[in-house]
A and B are shown apart, each in its own frame.
Chain A
Amino acid sequence: MSDAMLEMRDLRIGATAYPPGEPPQDIEIVHGISFTLQKGKVLGLIGESGAGKSTIGLAALGYGRGGVKITGGEVWINGRDILKGGLRGLRKLRGAEVTYVAQSAAAAFNPAKKLMEQVIEAAVHHNRCSKSEAEARAVELFAKLGLPDPETFGNRYPHQVSGGQLQRAMTALALCPQPDLVVFDEPTTALDVTTQIEVLAAIKEAIRDTGVAALYITHDLAVVAQVSDDIMVLRDGDKVEYGPTDQIINAPQEDYTRALVSVRSINHEEKSPTPDPVLRVSGISARYKGTSFDVLHDISVDLHPGQTLAVVGESGSGKSTLARVITGLLPPSKGEIEFSGRTLSPALEGRPREDLRELQMIYQMADVAMNPRQTVGTIIGRPLEFYFNMRGAEKRQRIKELLEEIEMGDGFLDRYPAELSGGQKQRVCIARALAAKPKMIICDEVTSALDPLVADGILKLLLNLQKIEGVAYLFITHDLATVRAIADSIAVMHRGKVVRYGPKSQVLSPPFDDYTDLLLSSVPEMKLGWLEEVIAHRKMESAGN
Chain B
Amino acid sequence: MGSALKLVAQRVALGLLLLLLVSGLIFIGTQLLPGDVAQSILGQSATPEALANMRRDLGLNEPALTRYLSWLFNALQGDLGTALTNGQDIADSISGRMKNTLFLAFWAAIIAVPLAIFLGLLAVRYRDRWPDKMISAVTLASISIPEFLIGYVIMYVVGVKLRWFPSVAMINDGMSLGEKLSSIAMPVMVLTLVVLAHMMRMTRAAILNVMQSAYIETAELKGLNRFQVIFRHAFPNSVAPIVNVVMLNLAYLVVGVVVIEVVFTYPGMGQYLVDHVAKRDVPVVQACGLLFAAVYIGLNMVADIVSILSNPRLRHPK
Contacts and interface: CB of A to CB of B under 8 A. Distances in A.
Contact flag (A, B; Cβ within 8 A): yes
A108 B224 contact: no
B316 interface: yes
A111 B220 contact: no
Given A94-B223, A126-B223, A112 B217 contact: no
Contact of A94 (B213, B221, B232): B221
Contacts of B213: 107
B218 A111 contact: no
Q: Which of B217, B222, B310, B312 has the most CB of A within 10 A?
A: B222
Nearest to B224: A125
Interface in A92-108: 92-96, 99-100, 102, 104, 107-108
Interface in B166-224: 213-215, 217-224
A65 B217 contact: yes
A61 interface: yes
B224 A95 contact: yes
A95 B318 contact: no
B312 A102 contact: no
A122 interface: yes
A111 B313 contact: yes
Interface residues of B, number: 22
Contacts of B218: 100, 102, 108-110, 118, 173
A351 interface: no
A412 interface: no
B265 interface: no
Interface in A117-175: 118, 121-122, 125-126, 157, 159-160, 173
Given A108-B217, A111-B215, A111-B313, A91 B223 contact: yes
A385 to B, nearest CB: 43
Contacts, number: 74
A111 B223 contact: no
A104 B217 contact: no
A92 B224 CA distance: 9
B236 interface: yes
B138 to A, nearest CB: 25
Nearest to A87: B225
Nearest to A177: B222
Nearest to B239: A112
Interface string A418-452: 00000000000000000000000000000000000
Contact of A93 (B217, B223, B236, B237): B223
A95 B225 CA distance: 12
A32 to B, nearest CB: 25
Given A109-B218, A110-B233, A159 B223 contact: no
Q: Which of A93, A102, A110, A122 has the most CB of B within 10 A?
A: A110
A159 B236 contact: no
Interface in B281-318: 310, 312-313, 316, 318
A63 interface: yes
A102 B214 contact: yes
A108 B220 CA distance: 11
B223 A95 contact: yes
Contacts of A100: 218, 221
B214 A107 contact: yes
B223 A108 contact: no
Interface residues on A, range: 20 to 34
Contacts of A90: 223
Contacts of B237: 110-112
Nearest to B215: A110
Given A108-B214, A160-B316, A63 B219 contact: no
B70 to A, nearest CB: 42
B223 A107 contact: no
Q: Which of A112, A125, A159 has the most CB of B within 10 A?
A: A112
A85 B218 CA distance: 21
Contacts of B217: 65, 102, 108
A113 interface: yes
Nearest to A109: B215
A178 to B, nearest CB: 14
A95 B313 CA distance: 27
A212 to B, nearest CB: 16
A96 B221 CA distance: 9
Contact of B220 (A63, A104, A110, A118): A63
B88 to A, nearest CB: 53
A78 to B, nearest CB: 15
A347 B294 CA distance: 47
Nearest to B218: A108
Contacts of A92: 223
Contacts of A173: 218
A120 B236 CA distance: 18
A110 B312 CA distance: 10
Interface string B249-262: 00000000000000
Interface in A226-250: none
Given A63-B221, A94-B221, 17 more contacts: A61-B221, A90-B223, A93-B223, A95-B222, A95-B224, A100-B218, A107-B214, A108-B214, A109-B215, A109-B218, A110-B215, A110-B218, A110-B236, A111-B312, A112-B310, A121-B224, A125-B223
16 contacts: A65-B217, A90-B223, A92-B223, A100-B218, A102-B214, A107-B213, A108-B214, A109-B215, A111-B215, A121-B219, A121-B224, A125-B223, A125-B224, A157-B312, A159-B312, A159-B318
Report, nearest first, the 6 A-B pairs whose CB atoms are least far apart: A95-B222, A95-B223, A107-B214, A94-B223, A122-B222, A112-B236
